[in-house]
Each structure stands twice: as structure tokens, then as C-alpha cells.
């Protein structure tokens, strides 16, 4: 898939989303790509980042496909 095709698919997908929180998150993600602002974490946030690094290093992670399947199963059980 080319860059142009991918951009087109993203634009089409975004045009169908009305969730302001989700759209704000996407906007923040895009802005962060061009923003070199330094972010400072509080102690709880820094601890969580460190815990997550340890989880990753020790292999305590899920494959994306497994996570999606778990979420779909949870949604279907509601």
C-alpha cells in the first residue's frame, strides 16, 4: 500500500468518526509528531512507565491480535 493510499484511507475513516475524544487523541498524536516539547511525568506516571518497560523486557506483553480478540470477546459478552 502506498503512502497516498494509506492517507486516503485514514482521511476516509476519520470523516466517519464523530467521537470528539477519539478525534482529539488522533490530533494530539499527529501534533506530537511535530512537537519537540518536553513532557514531565509525575512520580506515579514515571513509575508506570518503568513498570511497563520491565513488562516489555520480560515478555509480559500480548500480541496485538490476542488483545483485539480479547476485547471483541469482552464486547460480545456485554
Statement to judge: residues 56 and 33 lie in one domain: no
3-13 confidence digits (pLDDT tens): 999 999 999 99
Q: How far apart are CA 49 and CA 35, in angstroms?
A: 21
Statement to judge: residues 13 and 44 lie in one domain: no
- Report the predicted TM-score, pTM, of the whole model to 2 decimal places: 0.41
Q: Are 61 and 55 in contact (CB under 8 A)?
A: yes
Total domains present in the chain: 2
Q: Is the dihedral of CA 14, 63, 72, 70 positive or negative?
A: negative
Statement to judge: residues 46 and 78 lie in one domain: yes
23-78 confidence digits (pLDDT tens): 999 998 888 877 677 778 999 999 999 999 999 999 999 899 999 999 999 999 97
Q: How far apart are CA 27 and CA 19, in angstroms?
A: 12
Expressed as residue numbers, the domain containing 57 is 40-78
Statement to judge: residues 75 and 46 lie in one domain: yes
The rounded Cα 55 to chain-centroid distance in angstroms is: 17
Statement to judge: residues 44 and 76 lie in one domain: yes
SS3 call for 22: helix
Statement to judge: residues 56 and 28 lie in one domain: no
Statement to judge: residues 33 and 52 lie in one domain: no
Amino acid at each position: 500500500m502506498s503512502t497516498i493510499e494509506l492517507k486516503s484511507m485514514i482521511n476516509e475513516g476519520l470523516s466517519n468518526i464523530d467521537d470528539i475524544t477519539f478525534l482529539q487523541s488522533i490530533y494530539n498524536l499527529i501534533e506530537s509528531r511535530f512537537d519537540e516539547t518536553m513532557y514531565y511525568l509525575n512520580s506515579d506516571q514515571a513509575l508506570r512507565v518503568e513498570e511497563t518497560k520491565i513488562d516489555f523486557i520480560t515478555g509480559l506483553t500480548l500480541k496485538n491480535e490476542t488483545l483485539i480478540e480479547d476485547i471483541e470477546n469482552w464486547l460480545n459478552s456485554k
